[in-house]
A and B are shown apart, each in its own frame.
Chain A
Amino acid sequence: MTAPATDAPRAAAEALLRSPGPVRRRVAAGPAVRWLVLFAGGVAMVAPLAYMLSTSLKYPFEVYNLNLIPEEPTLDNYRDVLSDRRFGWWFFNSLLVATLTTVSNLFWDSLVGYTLAKFRFRFRQVVFIAILSTLMIPTEMLVIPWYLMSQQFGWLNTHWGIMFPGLMTAFGVFLMRQFFQTVPDDFLEAARIDGLNEFQIWWRVAMPLVRPALAALAIFVFLGNWTAFIWPLIVTNDQHMYTLPVGLTTFSVEQSVQWELIMTGAAVSVLPTLVVFLVFQRFIIRGVVMAGLKG
């Protein structure tokens, strides 16, 4: 005799609970696969960094031995790199260029982004599209005009020469515009009634409300400039003016590549980027914009 219709769902549920394995095994396999994929991704991310650190602790004879733990660990490479005065210049040049470019981008990108987001004026959309369209031009195409311009103005082998192409970016303007659009006009109008001028409104009211975006932009710009290679290589030929990525290539000459020194320089150069990320990541994580609005 078949079970009454009303008992059918209950019977099905009990059968499911009693069923020995396939269902439960499938449920358990999900997280396992996820963990496996994440672990593989993590290894892929960390492995180059680990090898960089490992190589920086090896003697030259051991560099091509791919074991992760050096047989005879040494800090000689660090001593050599840090005692090389050129490394100090490169580090200083990179730090100066990346820092000033970041500050410049934070200021100009957000000022232009704010204007495009919050002011109504003729051809606003045209201006925005024109700025965006510059994103479609590859750097390689721009290098020659930049170089000719630098040569003409005497900017070769100067910090300004390294920095000027990146002082303001279309991506930064786009990013900041999008964030400023999320800032409610009430904030700005309240400040207008309170007597602030438009620049003060931007600086004192709007900017603090987009701190997460500023932090994200700061990280992007700093890292981008810290690791920039092609343009600094082209615009400088005086070793004093090299940035770190360009300077590290001097450890590699035609006959030999001093991998242990390159890796040591790279390991040292990673430190500022870690500091920048650790300083700014809390601003990214903390969403502050909505805190002053309706709760």
Chain B
Amino acid sequence: MTTLILRDLVKEFGTTRVVHGVSLDVTPGEFIVLVGPSGCGKSTTLRMIAGLEEVTAGTIEIGGRVVNDLEPKDRDIAMVFQNYAIYPHLTVRQNIGFGLYTARLPRAEKARRIEEAAAVLGMTAYLERKPAALSGGQRQRVAIGRAMVRDPAVFLFDEPLSNLDAQLRTQMRLEIKKLHARLANTIVYVTHDQVEAMTLADRIVIMKDGRIQQVGSPAEVYHAPANTFVATFIGAPAMNLLAGTAGGGRVRLDIGAEIAVDTTAEGPVRLGIRPEDLRPAAPGAAPLRGRVSVAEPLGPGTLLHVDLGGAEVIATGPGRGAPEPGQEVGLLADPAALHLFDAATGAAIR
């Protein structure tokens, strides 16, 4: 059974179309992450699922029924907001219980759910506190607790970690992942942070300009990107793209070098190589040759910005003994890790 189905979802604000026919099937218990740059339509899509934005065209099905015309409260969803949206005048207990405000449940059952959610989130000791006396992470937990007590078919998260500092974000990310493993709820999660998307998702939906670019597991979108946008959006640093012409199982790059590629493609292409697949080698023994312009030591490795004479690429050197800026280096790429994209459309050539 599918929990959530989006069919040809369209959203227009006046004459501006911001979501262009998004379709997606989400299975029960799945953790789906919508990711993309600002203005890609991911939050609008989430808000349409929540019922906070009207759908211009298309349908949204939750638990087997079309919910386009239902009020948010009748859609069997719960949402965690970017700004937490927990009420400063209420205690943690009241805030978590607010999710049950209209639920026709016995008082004892409401209390049990609140206590249970607080226990799962480690907030039992803070139940009588007001939000002002909580840290950012604790406030976010309260917001999650308020969603949990509703026991919805689908949880919606709208960039819930973007207001936390880097350390807390990593911690909360892990907690959300553990929580999902434990509760096995269906989650649709919006973020612009590709690391969050990669670490949390069962499947990632990458969006750009209101259109889905690719749907797949983190490994799929990373190792087999559908187009140059996905290739450069997922992964940090971004994939290197070099213009060239394919033919006879080789790609002749515009910068002059030639690389063997396992492809039958012919014509203008862009060759993609992830920085970690591009390693420094002796200048004479490698097809690519250039000069290191910047070296960024990261501890386990060193990011090398190499000027190839017309194009700059990022390669990964060792943590110790990496080439220095100004040094001439050769660059070797694993043939199995090369990606080819159509130069005109940007689509991957398989």
A residues whose Cβ falls under 8 Å from a Cβ of B = 184, 186-187, 189-196, 205, 208-209, 211, 288-295
C-alpha spacing A187/B87, complex, angstroms: 7
Q: Assuming A186-B82, A291-B130, A292-B139, is B101 touching A196 (CB within 8 A)?
A: yes
Report B-chain residues with C-beta under 8 Å of the C-beta of A211.
89
B87 touches A194 (CB 8 A): no
Partner of A190, one of B79, B130, B134: B79
Please name all residues of chain B whose beta carbon is closer than 8 Å to the beta carbon of A193 when the two chains form the complex: 50-52, 72-73, 77-79
The answer for the CA separation of A79 and B153 in the assembled complex, in Å, is 72
Q: Do A189 and B84 touch across chains, with their CB atoms under 8 A apart?
A: no
CA separation between A92 and B88, bound complex, in Å?
37
Contacting pair A194 B102 (CB below 8 A): yes
Q: State whether A184 and B85 are in contact (beta carbons under 8 Å apart), knowing that A193-B78, A291-B131, A295-B135 are contacts in the complex.
A: yes
Q: Confirm or deny: B2 has a beta carbon within 8 angstroms of a beta carbon on chain A.
A: no
> Inside 8 A of B136's CB, which chain A residues have their CB?
294-295
A contact residues around B101 at 8 Å (CB):
194-196
**Number of chain B residues whose Cβ lies closer than 8 Å to a Cβ of chain A:** 33
Kindly list chain B residues whose C-beta atoms are within 8 Å of the C-beta of A205. Answer: 87
A30 to chain B, nearest CB (A): 37
The minimal Cβ–Cβ distance linking B73 to chain A, given in whole angstroms, is 4
* B98 on interface, CB distance cutoff 8 Å: yes
Residues of A within 8 A of B71 (CB): 192
Query: Is B275 at the interface (CB under 8 A from chain A)?
Result: no
With contacts A209-B88, A288-B89 known, is A190 near B81, CB below 8 A?
yes
Report the Cα distance A159→B150, complex, angstroms: 49
Residues of B within 8 A of A187 (CB): 85, 87
Q: Name 25 interchain pairs, CB-CB below 8 A, sorted by A.
A: A184-B83, A186-B82, A186-B85, A189-B50, A189-B79, A189-B81, A189-B85, A190-B81, A192-B52, A192-B71, A193-B77, A193-B79, A194-B98, A194-B99, A194-B102, A195-B73, A209-B87, A209-B88, A291-B132, A292-B84, A292-B87, A292-B132, A293-B85, A294-B84, A295-B136
User: Please, which residues of chain A bring their CB within 8 A of the CB of B86?
Assistant: 292
Contact call B73/A194, Cβ cutoff below 8 A? yes
Min CB–CB distance B142 → chain A (angstroms): 9
Q: Is B56 an interface residue (CB 8 A)?
A: no
- Neighbouring A residues of B81 by C-beta, 8 Å: 186, 189-190
User: In the assembly, what is the distance between CA of A293 and CA of B143, in Å?
Assistant: 11
Q: When chains A and B are docked, how far (Å) is the Cα of A190 from the Cα of B134?
A: 19
Q: Given contacts A186-B85, A187-B87, is CB(A192)–CB(B72) below 8 Å? A: yes
Interface core residue of A184, A195, A292 (most chain B CB under 10 Å)? A292
Asked if A194 contacts B163 (CB within 8 A), the reply is no
Q: How far is the CB of B35 from chain A (nearest CB, A)?
A: 21
Interface residues of B in 43-91 (CB under 8 A from A): 50-52, 71-73, 77-79, 81-89
Give every chain A residue within 8 A of B134 (Cβ-Cβ): 295
How far does the alpha carbon of A265 sit from the alpha carbon of B135 in the complex, in Å? Answer: 53
Q: How far is the CA of A187 from the CA of B89 in the complex (A)?
A: 12
9 additional contacts (CB under 8 A) given A190-B81, A193-B73? A187-B87, A189-B50, A192-B73, A193-B50, A193-B51, A193-B78, A194-B101, A194-B150, A290-B88
Interface residue? B146 (CB, 8 A): yes
* Nearest-Cβ distance from residue A293 to partner chain B, whole angstroms: 5
Contacts of B132 in A (CB 8 A): 288, 291-292
Chain B positions within 8 Å of A209 at CB level: 87-89
Q: Given A291-B131, A295-B135, verify A190-B85 contact (CB < 8 Å).
A: yes
C-alpha gap A226/B136 in the complex (Å):
45
- CB contacts (< 8 Å) of A184 on chain B: these are 83, 85
Distance between A121 CB and nearest chain B CB, rounded to angstroms: 15
User: Is B72 touching A294 in the complex (CB atoms < 8 A)?
Assistant: no
Within B133-147, the residues touching A (CB, 8 Å) are: 134-136, 139, 146
Specify which chain B residues have a CB less than 8 angstroms from the CB of A295 in the assembled complex: 134-136, 139
Q: A193-B77, A195-B101 are in contact. Are A292 and B85 (CB under 8 A)?
A: yes
Leading 7 A-B pairs by shortest Cβ distance? A195-B102, A195-B73, A291-B88, A292-B88, A294-B163, A190-B85, A186-B85
Give the residue name and chain of the B residue nearest to A293 (CB).
B83
Residues from chain B with Cβ under 8 Å of A186 in the complex: 81-85
**CA distance in complex: A288, B139 (Å):** 15
A208 to B146, CA, bound (A): 19
Cα-based distance from A184 to B87 in the complex (angstroms): 11
